Amino acid sequence: MKDKVNAGIIGASGYTGGELMRLLLNHPHVNLEMATSRKLAGQNVSKKHAHLAGLTDLEFEELDPVAVKQRCDVVFLAVPHGSAMDIVPQLIDSDLLIVDLSADYRLDVEEFEKVYGIKHHDPRKVVFGLVELHPEVKGETFVSNPGCYPTGATLAAAPVVNAGLADIAVFDSKSGITGAGVNPSQASHYPNMAENIQPYKLTTHRHRAEIWQELNGLGGLDSVNFTPHVIPAIRGILTTAHLFLNEECSEEDIRQLYDSFYSDCPFVRLVDDIPALGNVRGSNFCDIGFEIDTNSNRLVVISAIDNLVKGASGQAIQNMNLMCGFRETDGLWNAGLAP
C-alpha cells in the first residue's frame, strides 16, 4: 500500500467533480493529479469551482487515457450515463484503480439496457460500491458507485429486509436540486422551484432498479415502490421508507436489528429523533431514525444523506479508501454543516 496516491477525475466540471476535488484536497493520502473537462481544458479549476480558489493550481485538461494510466493510481469517472462504458475499456487493463460514479456498471447489462434504453458497449460484472452491504469492495480494482436515491433508500431498509421481516417496501424521497445536475432546467428555474415540491417520474424512476437489486439480494421482497420529489434545498436527500412488517416487532427489536447490522459501519448513525438534512449536509454520514405504527404493523424509517457526499463523491472516496488499503474514514471524518 502506498502512503500517498495520485488521483484523477474524469469529468470534473460538474457538482460531483467539484465535490470530489473539495474532499480529495484535504485527504491525507491523496495528491490530486488530474482533472479533465473537454469544454474547460486549459482553465484553472478554481475558475469553475470558485470555492477551491487558493487551494489548488490545477488546470482542466483534455482526457488522454494514456496520460491517466501513467500519472494516476486511482481515477474517478464523473461523466454522464452512457459515457463511462466508452472510457473504461481504455483504462481497465492496467494497475489503475477505477471508481465509476455513472450508472453504466451498477446493474446487470440486460437490466441496464432496459432501464436506460442504451446498448451497453462494455458488459462486465462490477461490484456495487455500497460499502455497508458490499465489504468485498476492499479487494476490487474497479467499483461502481451507487446512485444517490438508492443509497439513502437501501440503507434505510436493509436491516429489516435482511432479517426477512418485510414483504413490501414503499420509498418516498425528497432531494435537493443539485441532484438534477449542474445544467439549469425548467425544474430548477427559481419561479418553479421556490416554495414548491415537485414530484416526478412517480412510478418509473430508473433508480428503483438499483434499490430492487440491492434489497432483493438481501431477502425476498414482494415489491419495491419508489417516488422521488425535488425540494427547494441545495443539498440532501430525506427518504421516508414504509416497511410493512410480516410479524410484530417492538422498538427495541428494531433498534437492536439496526445496531447489529451496522455495527461495523462508521458512517451510519442511528438517531433517537427524526433525522435532519442539516446534520449530514457536507458529510458522508447517513442518519437513520424510525417509528413503528402499531395500528398497521408498519415500520416508518427515515434516512438523511447529503446527495453530493454520501450520495456521490464521499461514497466514491469511501470506496477508494478501502480499495487502497486506507482507513475507511480517511478524508471523510467530518461533521455535518449544521445549522
Task: Characterize the bridge pairing of strands 286-293 and 298-305.
Answer: antiparallel
Q: Which of 308, 334, 332, 337 has its CA nearest to residue 318?
A: 332
**Rounded distance, CA 27 to CA 18, Å?**
14
Q: What is the rounded CA–CA span in Å between residue 290 and residue 270?
A: 9
* 231 vs 172: CA distance, rounded Å: 12
Asked if residues 95 and 71 have their Cβ atoms less than 8 Å apart, the reply is no
| Torsion angles phi and psi, residue 145, rounded to 5 | -75, 135
Is-catalytic flag, 148? yes
Paired with 166 in beta bridges are: 245
**Closest alpha carbon to 266 in 242, 239, 286:** 286
Q: Which of 148, 249, 286, 324 is flagged as catalytic?
A: 148
- Which three three-digit cell numbers place residue 30? 491523496
Could you tell me the end-to-end alpha-carbon distance of the chain, in angstroms, rounded to an integer? Answer: 38
Nearest CA-CA partner of 106 in 90, 92, 75, 85: 85
Cell of 70: 501513467
Distances (CA, A) of 148 to 115, 129, 167, 175: 17, 12, 23, 9
Using the Cα atoms of residue 180, residue 280, residue 283 and residue 226 in order, give the sign of their dihedral.
negative
Q: How crowded is residue 276: how many other Cβ atoms within 10 Å of its Cβ? A: 18
Evaluate whether 66 touches 42 at the Cβ level (below 8 Å): no
Q: Which residue has the cell 446487470?
A: 108
Can you tell me the distance from the alpha carbon of 282 to that of 13, in angstroms, rounded to the nearest whole number? 19
Instruction: Name the residues annotated as catalytic.
Output: 148
